[in-house]
């Protein structure tokens, strides 16, 4: 399970999710995408864990992803640099409880991973801009 402590130890930009429709693979990078890999292990049908040379889990690949997830979810799955809502709160100067509430209501795009709400800088910016448009109206 990915915890807050684990998230804080990840290098900037390391946590990344990519969907490649050409090969129908969803990849979750837990280390830099350029990390040298030492070995892989198929832990379930079409679920591959890739390990870095230092022994840590570098990425998870989900083969035949379109058979496992609805197309809309896959299209939205490619995200760069997930950030927790505490970090998002500091960046946007919005209370963390407000961001959690808005994420729960679906007004701020976020996903729950290991009990932790995560979003991206881009989605946070979209949310902030939507708030300022509503304030002007």
- Asked if 5 and 65 sit in the same domain, the reply is yes
Q: What is the pLDDT of residue 87?
A: 86
Q: What is the pLDDT of residue 10?
A: 46
Count how many domains the chain has. 2
Final residue of a domain: which of 80, 101, 129? 80
Q: What is the pLDDT of residue 76?
A: 64
Portion of the chain with pLDDT greater than 70, in percent: 81
Q: Which one has a higher pLDDT value, 124 or 82? A: 124
- Asked if 63 and 101 sit in the same domain, the reply is no
Range of the domain at 9: 1-80
All residues at 6 or more sequence positions from 126 whose CB lies less than 8 Å from its CB, including other chains: 109
CB-CB contact of 64 with 43 (8 Å): no
Look at residues 60, 76, 94 and name the one whose alpha carbon lies nearest to residue 21. Answer: 76
Q: State the chain's mean pLDDT as an integer.
A: 81
Residue 3 clears pLDDT 60, i.e. is over it: no
Q: Which one has a higher pLDDT value, 68 or 2? A: 68
Q: What is the pLDDT of residue 81?
A: 67
Q: What is the pLDDT of residue 96?
A: 92
CA dist 83 → 58, 90, 120, 123, 131 (Å): 18, 11, 6, 10, 20
């Amino acid at each position: 399970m990915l915890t807050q402590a684990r998230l804080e130890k990840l290098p900037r930009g390391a946590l990344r999710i990519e969907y490649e429709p050409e090969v129908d693979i969803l990849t979750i990078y837990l280390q830099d995408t350029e990390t040298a890999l030492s070995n892989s292990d198929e832990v379930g049908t079409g679920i591959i864990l890739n390990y870095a040379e230092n022994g840590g889990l570098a990425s998870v690949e989900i083969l035949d992803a379109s058979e496992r997830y609805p197309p809309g979810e896959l299209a939205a799955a490619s995200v760069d640099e997930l950030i927790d809502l505490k970090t998002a709160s500091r960046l946007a100067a919005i209370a963390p409880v407000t961001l959690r509430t808005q994420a729960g209501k679906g007004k701020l795009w976020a996903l729950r991973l290991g009990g932790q709400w995560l979003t991206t800088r881009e989605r946070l910016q979209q949310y902030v801009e939507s708030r300022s448009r509503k304030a002007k109206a």
